Amino acid sequence: MFELSASDFTFTGNGLSRPECIVAERDGALWVSDNRGAITSIAADGRQRLIGRMGGKPNGMTMSEDGSFLMANIALRRFYKVGRDGSEQVFLDRVEGAPVGAANFVERDPTGRLWLSVSSRLSNHLLALESDVPDGYVIVMDHKGPRIVTDGLLFTNEVRLDAAMDWLYIAETRGGRVSRARLRPDGSLGPREVFGPDPIFDGALIDGIRFDAAGNLWVTEITRNRLYAIAPDGTAHLVFEDPDGAILDHPSSLTFCGPDLRTVHVGGLGQTRLATFQAPVAGLPPAHWQ
């Protein structure tokens, strides 16, 4: 299995603040969550521009069909639509009659459905990282409106669909594991099961997940600054670790980009730039590339 060393990394961007999530475009442009505003745009030529005044902790996001961004803010406990001009509008702050809670991530699938993760309902969501509080959940939004499709998760983080859209994969940060549930035609989910090790190691806190074109699920882990790839058979392979945090500092997400989708950028909660490497296999194209 593929492994990385420190010499395999370069860096992209500078002066970023809490660059938790990265959206890449075909032309090389990157859009990175940044708590100094909302998003930092990094053009293909390296020029940077900070947009928005959201504050709080902007985190997981996706690109909408009109080119704007759908973003969670875990500190402000809402989901926002952010325009490229920096405009901001709340698009979801309540579901099924209650405040959403600690909004974490937004994913858009090729059919246009949105999958939104909420880490915890606690007023102080960080308490759900310190002990087992199974109150995280996932919302689906489609033509029927928003509704909860799975609940009882241990600090829900990034969610992804596989290439065939058969399963929804869910990062459970406090559980240190990935769960998955089969997707039904009506957008509902079947029972959950664990995919891969449970936990990936004792004390692990996983954050970001993303598929490559070979069906491997890449995972970021924040306590030991690790990258894993979980093979389709559920075997987890350690790709890189950086206990000193010289390259990865609380890695929170990774994004495949470049014309061949083999360039990988890794964001991290403590980083001021993106860590960049070349992968041996292409990533699964995101919905806005299709």
What pLDDT does residue 1 have?
A: 74
- Which sign, positive or negative, has the C-alpha torsion 121, 127, 133, 139? positive
Residue 271 located in a structural domain:
yes
Residue 19 located in a structural domain:
yes
Tokens of 84: 């490229």
Q: Please check the confidence at residue 146 and state whether its pLDDT lies above 90.
A: yes
Q: What is the pLDDT of residues 46-99, one digit of tens each?
A: 999 999 999 999 999 999 999 999 999 999 999 999 999 999 999 999 999 999
- Alpha helix (H) residue ranges in the chain: 127-130
Structural domain total, the chain: 1
CATH number at residue 221: 2.120.10.30
Residue 209 located in a structural domain:
yes
Residue 117 located in a structural domain:
yes
**What is the model's pTM?**
0.98
3-class DSSP state of 15: coil
Up-side HSE of residue 131: CA atoms within 13 Å toward CB? Answer: 3
What pLDDT does residue 228 have?
A: 98
Q: To the nearest whole percent, how much of the chain has pLDDT over 90?
A: 99
**Residue among 42, 5, 32, 72 at smallest CA distance from 268:** 32
Residue 199 located in a structural domain:
yes
Residue 73 located in a structural domain:
yes
Residue 153 located in a structural domain:
yes
Residue 1 located in a structural domain:
no
Q: What is the pLDDT of residues 102-144, one digit of tens each?
A: 999 999 999 999 999 999 999 999 999 999 999 999 999 999 9
Which range marks the domain in which residue 141 is found?
6-289
The residues near 128 (Cβ < 8 Å, ≥ 6 apart) are: 102, 119, 120, 122, 135, 136, 154, 155, 174
